[in-house]
Amino acid sequence: MIMKSLYSKFAFITIMIMIVSGIVSFFISNVYYQVKLKQQNDEKITNFALEMAGFASNHPSISLQDYFGHIGVIGYQILLINQEGEKTYFGSSFRQTNLPEGVQERVMNGEVYHGIRQFPHKTFVTGFFANELTNSIGVPFQYQNKKYALFIRPDIKLLFNEMHILFGWILLLSILLSIFLVLISTKYLIEPIRKLNMATKEISEGNFSIRLDIERKDELGHLAANFTKMSEKLAKVDMLRKELISNISHDIQSPLANIKGYLNLLENNDKQDPDKQQYIRIMHSEADRLSKMTKQLLLLSSVESKRDLMNVSKVDISGQLKSVIHQYQWSILEKGIMISYELPDAWVKGDASLLYSLWENLLTNAIKYNHQNGTIDIEILETVSDIQVVFKDTGIGLDEKQIERVFDRFYRADASRERSVEGTGLGLSIINSIIDLHHGKIEVNSQKGKGSAFKVSLPKL
Amino acid sequence: MKTILICDDDVHIRGLVKGLLSKEGFKILAADNGAAAFELLQKELCDLAIVDVMMPIMDGYHLTSKIRKLYDIPVILLTAKSQIEDKEKGFESGTDDYLIKPFEPKELIFRVNALLRRYGNSNEANVNLGSLYINKKSYEVKIKNKTFILPLKEFELLSFLAAHPNRVFTRSHLIEKLWGLEYEGDDRTVDVHIKRLRERFSDIADDFSIKTIRGVGYSLEVENA
């Protein structure tokens, strides 16, 4: 049997403990009976037998038949043997009526037979209940000058029948009840662990706002309380991280905005000096590069850290695309590009801010690598299993070799250095990571000089 | 003269926006926090507000939602916060547009003009011509279910021609109408734009086309709609 859950292990072990302790305690009490109680029992019954035999020999006027018949009814099993060897039984019968060799003669000759004391040891049999003639006391006596041998043992069945049943029920019920209660109590004991387990899973999926309804004062209760505290701390850390990213970008981008803005004013004020104009343009593009680099590095770090901590929800792809288009409308029109789009409602499951960055990167690529006065077309298509977003541009395009290598990690790492003049080179690696995180895929269709189409497929809701 | 309110705690940004927009012929009011901006709004009539997000006393989201409740003027949030959460928060508070620092000065002017146009009570009618629909406020062209956003001059040229279908316009008439009297380029400019429009729509729309009337000019002709 393979036991996967703590619950079944715990229940199994408890029940095993009950069984083993039952066997061991039976064994120990059996030894106690054999060593001590059997002796006492033997003495007690020998006394009864001697008493009966004495009474019979002292009252020759009483009929033996009547006397022993009477005692038999009260609760003894009796065998009476006379000089001639005739056997008469009184009371309920023995299950086995053979005596060991020579016992009958020895008792007849005046010895006392201690059958109970001598009854053989067996590991699982006490001998107390063995309804055998061997397990009896034999005493000699004289009656009307004749020798008799008297064998008796208490009729356990008659005397203790109700007790027997009572103890039987107690034993059976206590076994059944304890198994039942073990199953229930184990469930109760294990339940908080199960809840904690679920909560841990939630946290690992990035949901920190968990509530554990475990109200206990024991170690598990403490664990649950500490666990809740921990998840609150984690939530705080997560929030601080997000705030930090947002603030870093604020603190870097604001001064850059000023630098760019004032450079622009400077450029317009001093159009005569071509050298100065050239320097200003360089400063301009460097400020741009710094700004983009900061944004993308922050994004890349959040993509990396999100590998296990995505903030998954239902995302309105069409709305996101429209807002991305709106955001970049100026850079598109500035380059004389016409953008066309057909965006029917489409929803996928994913991280809203990562997906937004994905569209941003795809669109800025389409603008960056487009010709002056080109066209960009964005479409949402729906297949049986996927939502597809296609970005088509009329840009410089890629040849077959470039397409092969454009998603090659090594090539990308290399290209980022080559391309550093134009972009950060992080765009494609961001695009790829985000699509990976969403179990999607990207296909490139391109012709050198004519343009490229990037098709992103994301699994449907 | 249109009045624009700029609200930012960064004195350099205020100076920059003031410099840029004054040149474009706007009157500028400046405030360094949300509360001060709100007081200014109560005193003077403004046509548009440019609001920074992170400000002391009253932040940009708060100010935007207050403006939204009391005034019918467009708001542009100008901020360095580019996370989508920040953007969503901005639109929730009711902003019309969102411009991320560092911005191109020309982009700011473009967006200001676009918003003023959208809010302005221009009584230019939208054009509906067969499958072609031109929205003059949002500057969008729609054909069937597809939306097109064209470069400004191409849009103006197309909507002007589409507003007067089958009428022939000379090149100089079009230059004067769309580029203005003081435009110093030659008539070729019109040809270039017409050529681009043709290229863009030849595969897409089949119920209108721009015809060259030899020796005269251009005309947008509707084909039996």
Instruction: Tell me the per-residue pLDDT of A348-382, one tens digit each, with 9 for 90 and over.
Output: 988 888 898 899 989 988 898 888 889 999 999 99
Could you tell me if A187 and A7 are in contact, meaning their C-beta atoms sit under 8 angstroms apart?
yes
CA distance to partner chain B, nearest, from residue A331 (Å): 8
Confidence tier at B121 by pLDDT (50, 70, 90) = low
Cross-chain residue pair B105–A261, CB shorter than 8 Å: yes
CA A247 to chain centroid, in Å, comes to 40
**Contact pairs from chain A to chain B, CB under 8 Å:** 116
Q: ipTM for the complex?
A: 0.85
- Condensed to tens digits (0 to 9), the pLDDT of residues B213-222 reads 888 888 888 8
**Rounded average pLDDT over B47-64:** 89
- List CB contacts (< 8 A) between A249 and chain B: 80-83
Q: What is the pLDDT of residue B150?
A: 92
Q: Return the pLDDT at A379.
A: 93
Question: How large is the average pLDDT for residues B16-43?
Answer: 89
- Please provide the size of chain A in residues: 461
Number of residues that this document lists for chain B? 225
How large is the C-alpha radius of gyration of chain A? 49
CA-based nearest residue in chain A for residue B110: A330
Contacting residues of A for B106, CB less than 8 Å apart: 330, 334
DSSP B124: P
CB contact under 8 A, B19 and A253: no
Quick check: bond before B151 cis, omega within 30? no
Q: Smallest Cα–Cα separation from B210: which of B224, B191, B225?
A: B191
Residues from B contacting A (CB-CB < 8 Å) are: 10, 12-13, 16-17, 19-20, 54, 79-87, 97-98, 100-107, 110-111, 145-152, 154, 196, 200, 204
CA distance A249 to A382: 36
Which residue of A lies nearest to B111 if distances are taken between CA atoms? A330
Tell me which residue of A315, A313, A292 sits closest to A365, measured CA to CA: A292
Q: What is the pTM (predicted TM-score) of this model? A: 0.65
Residue closest to A42 by CA, chosen among A155, A164, A152, A157: A152
Tell me the per-residue pLDDT of A279-293, one tens digit each, with 9 for 90 and over.
Answer: 888 888 888 888 888
* Amino acid letter, residue A434: I
Q: Which residue of A has its CA nearest to B21?
A: A265
Indicate yes or no: CB of B106 within 8 angstroms of CB of A334: yes
| 3-state SS class at A337 | coil
Check A259 against B196: CB less than 8 A apart: no
In tens, the pLDDT along A221-234 reads 888 888 888 888 88
pLDDT at residue A22 above 80? Answer: yes
Q: Which residues contact B54 (CB under 8 A, 6 or more apart)?
A: A250, B9, B60, B79, B80, B81
The CA-to-CA distance between both ends of chain B, in Å, stands at 43
Residue type for A62, please? I
Contact by Cβ (8 Å): B176, B225: no
Q: Shortest CA distance to B136 belongs to which of B146, B147, B122, B148?
A: B122
Q: In chain B, what residues touch A374 (CB-CB under 8 Å)? A: none
> Across the interface, do B149 and A339 touch by the CB < 8 Å criterion?
yes
Q: At what angle do helices B84-92 and A219-269 cross, to 10 degrees?
A: 80
- Per-residue pLDDT tens for A92-109? 888 888 888 888 888 888
Interior CA angle at A276 toward A273 and A277, to 5°? 85
pLDDT at res. A345: 92
Chain A residue numbers with beta carbons less than 8 Å from the beta carbon of B105 are 260-261, 264-265
Residue A271 binned pLDDT confidence (cut-offs 50, 70, 90): confident
Q: In 3D, which of B81, B155, B58 has the Cα closest to residue A243?
A: B81
Instruction: Select the residue from A340, A372, A393 to test the B interface by mutation, using most B Cβ atoms within 10 A.
Output: A340
Mean pLDDT over the full length of chain A = 83
Torsion of CA A431, A436, A437, A441, to 10 degrees: 90
CA dist A247 → B54, B83, B168 (Å): 10, 10, 57
Tell me how far apart the alpha carbons of residues B62 and B95 are, in angstroms, rounded to a whole number.
11
DSSP string across A268-287: HH--S-HHHHHHHHHHHHHH
Element holding A34 (H helix, E strand): none
What is residue A414's predicted lDDT score, i.e. its pLDDT? 39
